[in-house]
Amino acid sequence: MQARHIDHVNLRVPEDGVDDAREFYGERLGFGIEDDPYAAGEKPFFDVRLSATAVVHLWPTDEFEPPTATNYDHVAVAVEESIDEIEAELDAAGVDIEKSMDSPLGATGESPAVYVRDPFGYRVEITAQA
């Protein structure tokens, strides 16, 4: 089997966290939100579009339990901007940077990255690929 890329990641969010998810992933981080089938009741989840070939499925549930150090660490998203551009965009959007690293090891080698938390406690690594 020859894998090409990660197609999607599934994350649970609180039932009442849909607007927070749209605001964080869509408005603050600038990713596309695809939620028409969810809003129409056709799917139990909505998508954060990372690229043409990758999404995060967000599943609202009343049984949501925040991630802990023993069951989740982070999801990493490689972006085209430089680390300086990433930090400036996050600052302008009011997103706190939890930590920065000069050269964490990822799928394509070492690249500078920052780590942020979404409204539900998930850590998101944003890696510069510029």
What pLDDT is stored for residue 3 in this prediction?
61
What pLDDT is stored for residue 130 in this prediction?
61
- pTM above 0.85? yes
Q: Report if residue 3 sits inside a domain.
A: no
Name the region of 30 (left: φ>0; alpha: ψ -120 to 50; beta: rest). Answer: left
What pLDDT is stored for residue 111 in this prediction?
87
Phi, psi of 114 (to 5 degrees): -125, 155
What pLDDT is stored for residue 98 in this prediction?
96
Total number of domains in the chain: 1
- CATH for 60: 3.10.180.10
Q: Report if residue 77 sits inside a domain.
A: yes
Q: Are strands 105-106 and 123-128 parallel, antiparallel or unpaired?
A: unpaired
What pLDDT is stored for residue 105 in this prediction?
75
What pLDDT is stored for residue 62 in this prediction?
95
What pLDDT is stored for residue 86 in this prediction?
94
Q: Report if residue 1 sits inside a domain.
A: no
What pLDDT is stored for residue 124 in this prediction?
93
- In terms of residue numbers, what domain contains 69? 8-128
Residue ranges for the chain with pLDDT beneath 50: none
CA distance 69 to 56: 20
6: tokens are: 């990660």
CA distance 30 to 126: 12
